[in-house]
Amino acid sequence: MKRTLSVLVENKPGVLTRITGLFARRGFNIDSLAVGETENPLFSRVTITVVGHDQPVEQVTKQLHKLINVIKITDLEPAERLERELLLVKVKATADNRAEIMQVAEIFEGRIVDISPETAVIEATGPRRKVEALIELLRSMNVVVELIRTGKIAVRRGPKLT
Amino acid sequence: MKGSYILLEALKQEGVDVVFGYPGGSVIPLYDALYDFDIRHILTRHEQGAAHAADGYARASGKVGVCVATSGPGACNLVTGIANAYLDSVPMVAITGQVRTSLIGTDAFQEADITGITLPIVKHSYLVQKVDDLPRIVREAFYLARTGRPGPVLIDVPVDITVAETEYDPSCPPDMALPGYKPTVKGHPKQIRAAAAALAQAERPVIYAGGGIISAGASQELRDLARFAHIPVTTTLTGIGCFPEDEELSLGMLGMHGTRYANYAVTHCDLVFAVGVRFDDRVTGKLETFAPGAKTIHVDVDPAEISKNVVVDIPIVGDARWVLSAILDELKKHQLAVDRHLPWMAQIAQWKEDHPQVVRQDPGGEIMPEHVVRRLWEITKGEALITTEVGQNQMWAAQYYLARYPRQFITSGGLGTMGFGFPAAIGAKVACPDSLVIDIAGDGSFQMNIQELGTAVAHDIPVKVCILNNCCLGMVRQWQELFWQKRYSQTCFECQPDFVKVAEAYGAEGYRVTGLDDLDEVLRESLSSDGPAVIDVPVKQEANVYPMVPAGGSIHEMLEEEG
């Protein structure tokens, strides 16, 4: 099962290494990772997606807690979280298929952010499922030249803090 | 004030009066400042010796041990010692020099990324970036090392930081900035009540006590509780001494080389009261058959240890001392009938009678290693502070030197570091100058840090090294004999030094036992002398450690010597 861990950490050098190192040596594969400063510049938010069963995930969470620079960890359930991923995908877009590409981007509420005689770059955001659906469609059209996506970020819905 | 002076002032603030170390290029300013300080510096002969000595000092004293090394190779040589302290939760602060800030990351001379290298084996680490941060970092490092689950903390100090000047007022302690660090001391009241109720109801309870009791200073609380509720106590290797092993309630050590009666008791009990332990594989053997019918209470200061290897029924996160005394208070509210587990105690007494921990004698007249340990115990009246090397010597020491006090038995449990015992003995002797300190050694392990004879002699630290000399790497040889068709690959030494001459060459005393006849006399003489001494005791090479649970086996299925 995929889990989304939202980890609040001190914004200090080396913190990310401590976190990723811990995952590696406890045998966890990080599925995606996103890091950025929070509303308070002293803290950063690390959003990690991992695949794992309850007990090992609980164990790795406890181990994460032991890192001195880790302040808080929230295991966000699907229903309580709002999640986004950002995709930048460069596709073949010539005069022949440009209209089609634009249409696909539009359906996925994406934007064309760069264009050349042979290519276009689509920017799309959304929950992972949506981003993956777009990728799948583009792949089936055989137009993907380069694909770059961020790790997932997530926030808790409603007034309660993540 | 210069960074180096600030660093040493900050150490003084933490109550440091002795450090173990080895100088080098990047720490010259630090050592220069040390010249002006009344901090005792024990110059070891290898940085690994410094780390183990600081570890031994910490375990013997309960204070934070401090070791110092230069950048690059010096720092790298501390690594085994840091890992050793990490695995056994020993409070330690390791201070390493680093190349100057502007050179970091350039593969400069004697540069090693020691914060990176030690990342998985420290509780926390710092690479000092501003001289102004030094007082806070030192304060935090000591606080982290000794609180919660203790462990090693590394402070990597670039050389330019130690020569930089800034304002410093020792009378004004810096604020710590550790927003993510809040160790739990008090156990949850509901869990405490549940634990007390379970203990009161149990018909076949066993206490499984570990090193956490010793580091929490909870030995007295454990004794009070065990005696009040009349519950037998078995300890882990690192828990040895937390409960007097010559007391009736003691079951000795459990696990791979534990006593039969401890392993039987754990297998047949209906309640395991685990305190300051981590259900290590050397203790539990096959997890499925470890205390199969029992309810488990687990007290530990580290929440990550709870339900890591064994899912427990009543977890309690908190300081062992606090929790044990709270449980005892709660237990006193229950009506405990004195005879409530008489059949259980009778059963245990029967196991003890049927499977005693015997001292074997060799029909051929060779010296049996456990006999040496038992004689050491008798001659020292069980009062010596024991350190051990790793392997068979360690197990015989654990089995036959019955410890009575916490911090009396110091051994490398988690990491199993050969070469630990001798430098640890030096550190322990520095911490406890009035104790007789004996390293029960093997000929293999002792040679891993034999150079520390120079340290013991130069600083007049009169520790005794008793080598159970079987001319081989006995524990591996034992496994090869039992499980690898007696293919003794690389475990028998073809050439041994003359340990007596080595000792004498360093200026220490060297003694050699020739046989059972002069064993007692030589032990007495060497132990009562004033100086550091090495006692070479030839023991039967084929002697194995028994009982033994094969790795991954059930702990109640133990091998005994054949014949």
Mutate to test the interface with A, among B101, B181, B300 (most CBs of A within 10 A): B181
> Chain A residue closest to B301 (CA)?
A66
Q: Does a structural domain hold residue B494?
A: yes
pLDDT at B382 over 70: yes
Assign domain A2-76 to its CATH superfamily: ACT domain (3.30.70.260)
- pLDDT band for position B429 (cuts 50, 70, 90): very high
Same domain, B60 and B134: yes
Burial of B256 (0-12, 13-18, 19+ CB in 10 A): buried
Tell me the pairing of strands B295-300 and B271-275: parallel
Same domain, B68 and B143: yes
Listed by start position, the domains of chain A span: 2-76, 82-155
Same-domain check for residues B131 and B208: no
| Residues B307, A55: C-beta atoms closer than 8 Å | yes
**Does B521 have pLDDT greater than 70?**
yes
Q: Are residues B156 and B228 located together in one domain of the fold?
A: no
Q: What is the pLDDT of residue B249?
A: 97
Q: Is residue B8 situated within a structural domain?
A: yes
**Residues paired with B122 in a beta bridge:** none
Residues B419-446, mean pLDDT to the nearest whole number: 98
Minimal Cα–Cα distance from A63 to chain B, Å? Answer: 6
Q: Kindly report the CATH number assigned to the domain that includes residue B91.
A: 3.40.50.970
Do residue B382 and residue B518 come from a single domain? Answer: yes
Nearest-CA neighbor of B317 among B218, B180, B192? Answer: B192
Same domain assignment for residues B383 and B513: yes
Supply the pLDDT for residue B563: 56
Average pLDDT taken over every residue of chain B: 96
Which residue of chain B comes nearest to A7, CA vs CA? B180
* d(CA A12, nearest CA chain B) in Å: 11
Q: Read off the pLDDT of residues A121-158 as tens digits, 9 standing for 90 and up.
A: 999 999 999 999 999 999 999 999 999 999 999 999 99
For residue B180, being part of any structural domain is answered with no
- Which 110-169 residues of chain B touch chain A by CB within 8 A? 115-116, 119-120, 123-124, 127, 129, 144
Say what the pLDDT of residue B62 is.
97
Residue B335: CATH number of its domain? 3.40.50.1220
In angstroms, the CA B505 to CA B528 distance is 21
Whether B344 maps to a domain, the answer reads: yes
Based on the fold, state whether residues B488 and B346 are members of the same structural domain: no
Q: Are residues B449 and B316 in the same domain?
A: no
Asked if B119 lies within 8 A of A10 by C-beta distance, the reply is no
Whether B504 and B468 share a structural domain: yes
Domain end among B305, B320, B354: B354
Sort out which chain A residues have CB atoms less than 8 A from B120's CB and list them. Answer: 21-22, 25
Q: By C-alpha distance, which of B128, B119, B126, B122 is closest to B161?
A: B128
Residue B171 is assigned to a structural domain of this protein:
no
* Residue numbers of the domain that contains B224: 189-354
Does residue B317 fall inside a structural domain?
yes
**Residues B524, B391 within the same domain:** yes
User: Of B354, B388, B422, which residue sits at a domain end?
Assistant: B354
**According to the model, what pLDDT value does residue A26 have?**
84
- Fold of domain A82-155: Alpha-Beta Plaits (3.30.70)
What confidence tens digit (pLDDT) does each residue in B97-153 have?
999 999 999 999 999 999 999 999 999 999 999 999 999 999 999 999 999 999 999
Are B512 and B374 in a shared domain? yes
For residue B35, CA distances in Å to B13, B15, B44, B53 come to: 18, 18, 17, 21
Asked whether residue B391 falls in the same domain as residue B534, the answer is yes
